[in-house]
Chains A and B, each alone.
Chain A
Amino acid sequence: MPLSNIDDLFQYEELSACRDAGWPDCFNTGLFVLTPSLETYKALIRRACDDGSFDGGDQGLLNAHFSTWSHGDIRKHIPFSYNVNPNASYTYLPAYKHFADQVKMVHFLGAVKPWHYQYANGRVQGQNLTEHTLKFLEQWHKVADIVKQTYYQPTAEMKAGSAKKEGTNVVPTTLTNPEILRYGRQMIVDGVGLPGQEGLKKSKVLIVGLGALGCPSSHYLAAAGVGTLGLVDDDVVDASNLHRQILHSEKEIGVHKVDSAISRLHAVNQHVSLIPHKVDLNASNALSIIQQYDLVLDCTDNATTRYLINDCCVLLNKVLVSGAALRFEGQVSTYNYKGGPCYRCINPSPPDPETTLNCFEAGVLGPVTGVVGSLQAAEAIKILASDESAYAGKLMLVCPWDGIMKAIKLRPRRKDCVVCGDNPTVTSPIDYVKFCGSGKNKQYSNASTESERITCRQLRDSSYKHLIDVRPSVEFGICALENSVCVPFMDLVSDKVDLSPHIPEDPAEPVYLLCRAGINSQVAVQHLKAKYPEHCFKDIVGGLMGWTSDIDPNFPMY
Chain B
Amino acid sequence: MNITIELAGGAELLFGNQRKHEVTLPESDKQWTMATLLPWIRDNLLQERGELFMQGKSVRPGILVLVNDADWELAGELDYVIENKDNIMFISTLHGG
| A binding-site residues for B, Cβ under 8 Å | 209, 211-214, 299-303, 306, 323-327, 329-331, 346-352, 355-359, 362, 364, 369, 372, 395, 397, 399, 402, 406, 408-411, 490, 494, 496
Interface residue tally for chain B (C-beta within 8 Å)? 27
Q: A323-B97, A324-B94 are in contact. Are A329 and B64 (CB under 8 A)?
A: no
List 7 A-B pairs, minimum CB-CB distance, nearest first. Answer: A351-B62, A349-B61, A324-B94, A411-B73, A326-B96, A409-B70, A411-B71
Residues of A within 8 A of B73 (CB): 411
- Can you list, as one digit per residue, whether each of B15-59 has a CB less than 8 Å from chain A (1) or not (0)? 000010000000000000000000000000001110010000000
In the complex the two chains form, is A355's CB within 8 Å of B94's CB?
no
19 chain-A/chain-B pairs, Cβ below 8 angstroms? A324-B94, A325-B94, A325-B96, A325-B97, A329-B9, A329-B94, A331-B91, A346-B64, A350-B62, A351-B61, A355-B52, A357-B96, A358-B96, A395-B91, A397-B8, A409-B71, A409-B74, A490-B13, A494-B47
In the complex the two chains form, is B71's CB within 8 Å of A329's CB?
no
Q: A359-B96, A369-B97, A490-B13 are in contact. Are A408 and B69 (CB under 8 A)?
A: yes
For residue B32, give the distance in angstroms from its CB to the closest CB of chain A. Answer: 22
In the complex the two chains form, is B70's CB within 8 Å of A408's CB?
yes
In the complex the two chains form, is B94's CB within 8 Å of A494's CB?
no
Residues of B within 8 A of A349 (CB): 61-62
Residue from B8, B52, B73, B96 whose CB has the most chain A CB atoms within 10 Å: B96
CA A357 to CA B14, docked complex, whole Å: 13
Residues of A within 8 A of B96 (CB): 301, 324-326, 357-359, 362, 364
Residues of A within 8 A of B94 (CB): 324-326, 329-331
Taking A300-B97, A325-B96 as known contacts, 18 extra A-B pairs with beta carbons closer than 8 A to each other, sorted by chain A number, are A323-B97, A324-B95, A324-B97, A326-B10, A350-B62, A351-B95, A362-B10, A362-B96, A395-B91, A408-B66, A408-B69, A408-B71, A408-B89, A409-B69, A409-B71, A410-B71, A411-B71, A411-B73
Q: Is the interface of B mostly helix, strand, loop or mixed?
A: loop
Residue B85, interface by CB 8 Å = no
CA A194 to CA B70, docked complex, whole Å: 36
CA A214 to CA B96, docked complex, whole Å: 12
In the complex the two chains form, is A490's CB within 8 Å of B95's CB?
no
Number of A-B contacts (CB under 8 A): 102
For residue A545, give the distance in angstroms from its CB to the closest CB of chain B. Answer: 20
| B binding-site residues for A, Cβ under 8 Å | 8-10, 13, 19, 47-49, 52, 60-62, 64, 66, 69-71, 73-74, 89, 91-97
Which residue from chain A places its CB closest to the CB of B70 in the assembled complex? A409
In the complex the two chains form, is B64's CB within 8 Å of A301's CB?
no
A303, A355, A494: the one contacting B60 at CB < 8 Å is A355
Residue from A347, A364, A402 whose CB has the most chain B CB atoms within 10 Å: A347
In the complex the two chains form, is B8's CB within 8 Å of A399's CB?
yes
In the complex the two chains form, is A356's CB within 8 Å of B95's CB?
yes
In the complex the two chains form, is B62's CB within 8 Å of A355's CB?
yes
For residue B7, give the distance in angstroms from its CB to the closest CB of chain A. Answer: 11
For residue B42, give the distance in angstroms from its CB to the closest CB of chain A. Answer: 14
For residue B53, give the distance in angstroms from its CB to the closest CB of chain A. Answer: 10
Residues of B within 8 A of A399 (CB): 8
Residues of B within 8 A of A300 (CB): 95, 97
Residues of B within 8 A of A362 (CB): 10, 96
Which residue from chain B places its CB closest to the CB of A397 in the assembled complex? B8
CA A550 to CA B51, docked complex, whole Å: 38
CA A372 to CA B48, docked complex, whole Å: 30
Residues of B within 8 A of A324 (CB): 93-97
CA A211 to CA B95, docked complex, whole Å: 13
Residue from A325, A359, A397 whose CB has the most chain B CB atoms within 10 Å: A397
A323, A350, A395, A490: the one contacting B61 at CB < 8 Å is A350
A326, A355, A496: the one contacting B47 at CB < 8 Å is A496
In the complex the two chains form, is A327's CB within 8 Å of B10's CB?
yes
Residues of A within 8 A of B60 (CB): 351-352, 355
Residues of B within 8 A of A352 (CB): 60-62
CA A399 to CA B89, docked complex, whole Å: 15
Which residue from chain A places its CB closest to the CB of B91 in the assembled complex? A397
CA A496 to CA B70, docked complex, whole Å: 34
A303, A406, A408: the one contacting B95 at CB < 8 Å is A303
CA A348 to CA B93, docked complex, whole Å: 12
For residue A376, give the distance in angstroms from its CB to the closest CB of chain B. Answer: 10
In the complex the two chains form, is A212's CB within 8 Å of B69's CB?
no
Residues of B within 8 A of A490 (CB): 13, 48
In the complex the two chains form, is A356's CB within 8 Å of B62's CB?
yes
